[in-house]
Chain A
Amino acid sequence: MSHYQNNYYTSRRQQNWSRNQNTTRFVSSVKLGPVAHTVLVALMITVLGLIYLTQATRTTGYDYQSQKIESQIADLNNQKSDLQVENARLTALSTVKDSAVAKTMTAPANTEYVQQ
């Protein structure tokens, strides 16, 4: 087979051919020199590095969410403590004694026990 080449096609370098196989292959007219290759490789390495960094620091994104949630938890705990203090004040003996219900109560005149 004679070697054929123009701007778009070139012969395949093959010795054994199969039926219906093209003997030529497409060749792009865009040519890259050594500088272009170097720049492309550098760009690919940079992109890979950026991908690595974003994945490695992805967890820090969750830190902000967890910090927000912890802040909410702390706030709710503070509210709960305040309510517990308020509850304790409302159920304190002095409050109960001064309540309207207590003021209407009197000491029993007599107490008797049922024999068991």
Chain B
Amino acid sequence: MNLDLLKGSRTRILAVIILGILAIFVVRLFYLQVMQHGHYINIAKTKQESRFAIPASRGEIYAMSGDQPVQMVMNEKVYTVFADPATVTNKDKVVDTLKQIAGGNVRDNFASLLDNKESRYQILATKVTRTQADKIKDADLNGIGFQEVSQRVYPEGGLGGQILGFVDTTGNGQYGLEGYENDALKGVDGYLKAVTDVNSVPLTIGNDNINKPAQNGKNIVMSVDRNVQSYVESALGNGLKKNGAKKGSVLVMNPTNGKILAMANLPTYNPAEYNQVTDIAAFNNDTISAPYEPGSDVKTYTLAAGIDKGVVKASDTYYNTDKIKVNDIVVSNATLGHTGNITFQTALTWSLNTGFVTIAQRLGDGTNITKSARDVMYDYFHNRFGLGSLTGVELANEAKGTVISPDEVQGNAVRYSNMSFGQGLDATLIQVAAGFSSIINGGNYYKPTVINGYMTDDGYEQNPAPQPTRSGVVAKATSDQVKAATHTARASSFGSTDKPGYYIGGKTGTSQVIVNGQYSNNETVGTYLGYGGGSIDSPQYVIMVQVSGTGQELGGAKDALPIFTDISNWMLGYLNVQPKG
């Protein structure tokens, strides 16, 4: 049979038309599938691919309890309950269920919020626990949704609030360790880009999927001991009740490695309720943020410098008239009556300013506080003991303080005469305590630290033993003499308050406050700086106490020392320090 179509036949024409239509289809398909391939692939990817941020968990903060880390700051998943008023069908049931299950977490006027049918989003309750959220979900309420939120939780309440700091609503740490180590604690969010189905379930289709896991924040283990912190806060509170001071600060540290065992300030705040604080000053950790004129505590520094330079010993004498002239000013003693030839030990015990101005003069030509004397004092106070410099402790908002260099016009003999007994300079508690630690531990300056190590998936990883930042700040012999002198100073007046058999030493400080550019006559800050241990060779702790208040005259011996004694006697028992003899 001949299948060729006849030329000009209608069948042939139909065949040509059909072929033409098919050719149009083929060309169109070629255009869409080959030439527009990239364009449609991109549209498909836009619709099919989803991007998710994988939030990183914020690192936890631990404290020590003896030699075991315990959790101080943790994370908790809580839920925000919201409603779409337009889709809520049973308002009464919603109100009753929320009141029953989440009564303490609902907003004040949440029932009326459901009447606003034009709104599509109203928050009804916040910080609802997972158990509460599950119960609400079981009630199967229309128009109710949940938003998961991670929040910080503080099992120890307000303990160490100013050391810890808090996390604000943007998820960033403020103040304290949360602020200083925010980057380490925050971690790095992860990222997931994948093709998803209609329920947003990621699928392993395609070659462009990206799955970058989140890096959770580091879990920091502090050197702060929660038991010491708790006792210190309690002792400080009791002390302020007794002496009526409006403010107080205590710092406890290990002088042999720079580790901070406790830091307390009153008034304080609870980091879980930071948004209820009315006075922003409560966020500040005064032990690191509030420089002040340290006063007579610094006489230990002057004595150390004098002994180390070989110009004095505690047993050397000078002639005390209760007054001493420096250029055109006269420095007087606060305690009068110990006139005549007295030892520098007596000057230390009775905190006689004239003795320490004399040491400053002996660092010079014996009569004047010369430039070389001021250079020596600056070297010891600033370069060796660290006054007027940031210590580098891992807490936010550390203040530097001020020690005027002898090369400046203000660094004259009058200023340095004041500096010899702790005025004319500004320093924070932590600077003074760290410098004092270096004097009594044999001459090694350790950077103060609040970090002991990190908690990892493998357990607790302690940092290597701290090494001195500066060695030989004073000679060992100088260290022993200063310890002996401060021990004698304490024992002669306050030794009966210490537990027998232990080696405790310290120095009182009562410093004037500058008000409106002048030293005030009716406001003083009381401090006590001391150490304790089983023997002269083994100081176990340094404690510094400061009490103050606007318009209050507070004394080192009268107001700060009792708080030191309370904490010192407790520390001896807590650390199981064995008495000698």
Q: Please list the residues of chain A having a beta carbon within 8 angstroms of any beta carbon in chain B.
A: 57, 59-60, 62-64, 67, 78, 81-82, 84-85, 88-89, 91-94, 111, 113, 116
Nearest B-chain residue to A67, judged by Cβ = B201
Q: How far is the CA of A111 from the CA of B230 in the complex (A)?
A: 22
B157: which of A59, A67, A85, A92 is its contact (CB, 8 Å)? A92
A59: which of B74, B129, B204 is its contact (CB, 8 Å)? B204
Nearest A-chain residue to B201, judged by Cβ = A67
**Are the C-beta atoms of A60 and B203 separated by less than 8 Å?**
yes
Nearest B-chain residue to A97, judged by Cβ = B230
**Are the C-beta atoms of B71 and A88 separated by less than 8 Å?**
yes
Q: How far is the CA of A92 from the CA of B129 in the complex (A)?
A: 20
CB distance from A74 to the nearest CB of B (A): 10
**Are the C-beta atoms of B203 and A63 separated by less than 8 Å?**
yes
Query: How many interface residues does chain B have, given as a range?
Result: 20 to 34
B76: which of A57, A82, A92, A111 is its contact (CB, 8 Å)? A82
Nearest B-chain residue to A113, judged by Cβ = B578
B155: which of A60, A63, A81, A89 is its contact (CB, 8 Å)? A89
23 interchain pairs, CB-CB under 8 A:
A59-B204, A60-B204, A60-B205, A62-B204, A63-B202, A63-B203, A64-B201, A67-B202, A78-B130, A81-B74, A81-B76, A81-B77, A82-B76, A82-B129, A82-B130, A85-B74, A85-B76, A88-B70, A88-B71, A93-B226, A93-B227, A111-B573, A116-B578
CB distance from B572 to the nearest CB of A (A): 9
**Are the C-beta atoms of B157 and A84 separated by less than 8 Å?**
no
**Are the C-beta atoms of A88 and B74 separated by less than 8 Å?**
yes
Nearest B-chain residue to A88, judged by Cβ = B155
Q: How far is the CA of A84 from the CA of B578 in the complex (A)?
A: 37
Identify which of B70, B71, B578 gathers the most chain A CB atoms within 10 Å of its CB. Answer: B71
B153: interface (CB < 8 Å) = yes
B407: interface (CB < 8 Å) = no
CB distance from A65 to the nearest CB of B (A): 11
Q: How far is the CA of A21 from the CA of B203 in the complex (A)?
A: 60
Please name 12 further chain A to chain B contacts, defined as beta carbons within 8 Å, in addition to the given A63-B204, A93-B159, sorted by A numbering. A57-B205, A60-B204, A78-B77, A78-B130, A82-B77, A84-B71, A85-B74, A88-B71, A91-B155, A92-B156, A94-B156, A113-B579
Within 8 A of A (CB), among B61-91: 70-71, 74-77
Nearest B-chain residue to A68, judged by Cβ = B201
Q: Please list the residues of chain B having a beta carbon within 8 angstroms of any beta carbon in chain A.
A: 70-71, 74-77, 129-130, 153, 155-157, 159, 201-205, 226-227, 230, 573, 578-579
Question: Main SS of the interface on chain A?
Answer: helix
Nearest B-chain residue to A59, judged by Cβ = B204
Q: Chain B contacts of A81 at CB under 8 A?
A: 74-77
CB distance from B85 to the nearest CB of A (A): 29
CB distance from B246 to the nearest CB of A (A): 25
Query: Which 9 pairs across A and B sit closest by C-beta, in order of nearness?
Result: A88-B155, A92-B155, A89-B155, A88-B71, A60-B203, A63-B203, A113-B578, A67-B201, A92-B156
Q: Chain B contacts of A91 at CB under 8 A?
A: 70, 155
CB distance from A34 to the nearest CB of B (A): 11
CB distance from A11 to the nearest CB of B (A): 27
Q: How far is the CA of A76 from the CA of B77 in the complex (A)?
A: 13
**Are the C-beta atoms of B203 and A85 separated by less than 8 Å?**
no
Q: How far is the CA of A67 from the CA of B203 in the complex (A)?
A: 9
**Are the C-beta atoms of B202 and A93 separated by less than 8 Å?**
no
Q: Chain B contacts of A57 at CB under 8 A?
A: 205
Q: How far is the CA of A36 from the CA of B119 in the complex (A)?
A: 64
CB distance from A49 to the nearest CB of B (A): 16
Q: How far is the CA of A89 from the CA of B129 in the complex (A)?
A: 15
Q: Chain A contacts of B578 at CB under 8 A?
A: 113, 116
A93 with B201: in contact, given A88-B74, A113-B578, A113-B579 (CB under 8 Å)?
A: no
Nearest A-chain residue to B72, judged by Cβ = A88
Q: Chain B contacts of A85 at CB under 8 A?
A: 74, 76, 153, 155
Nearest A-chain residue to B129, judged by Cβ = A82
Q: Chain A contacts of B226 at CB under 8 A?
A: 93
Q: How far is the CA of A84 from the CA of B72 in the complex (A)?
A: 12
Q: Chain A contacts of B159 at CB under 8 A?
A: 93-94
Q: Chain A contacts of B203 at CB under 8 A?
A: 60, 63
Q: How far is the CA of A80 from the CA of B538 in the complex (A)?
A: 44
**Are the C-beta atoms of B157 and A94 separated by less than 8 Å?**
yes
Q: How far is the CA of A59 from the CA of B194 in the complex (A)?
A: 14
**Are the C-beta atoms of A93 and B130 separated by less than 8 Å?**
no
CB distance from A93 to the nearest CB of B (A): 5
CB distance from A105 to the nearest CB of B (A): 14
Identify which of A59, A62, A81 gathers the most chain B CB atoms within 10 Å of its CB. Answer: A81
Q: How far is the CA of A84 from the CA of B75 in the complex (A)?
A: 10
Q: How far is the CA of A63 from the CA of B209 in the complex (A)?
A: 13
CB distance from A18 to the nearest CB of B (A): 41
CB distance from B345 to the nearest CB of A (A): 31
CB distance from A37 to the nearest CB of B (A): 17
Q: How far is the CA of A81 from the CA of B150 in the complex (A)?
A: 11
CB distance from B477 to the nearest CB of A (A): 29
Q: Chain A contacts of B76 at CB under 8 A?
A: 81-82, 85
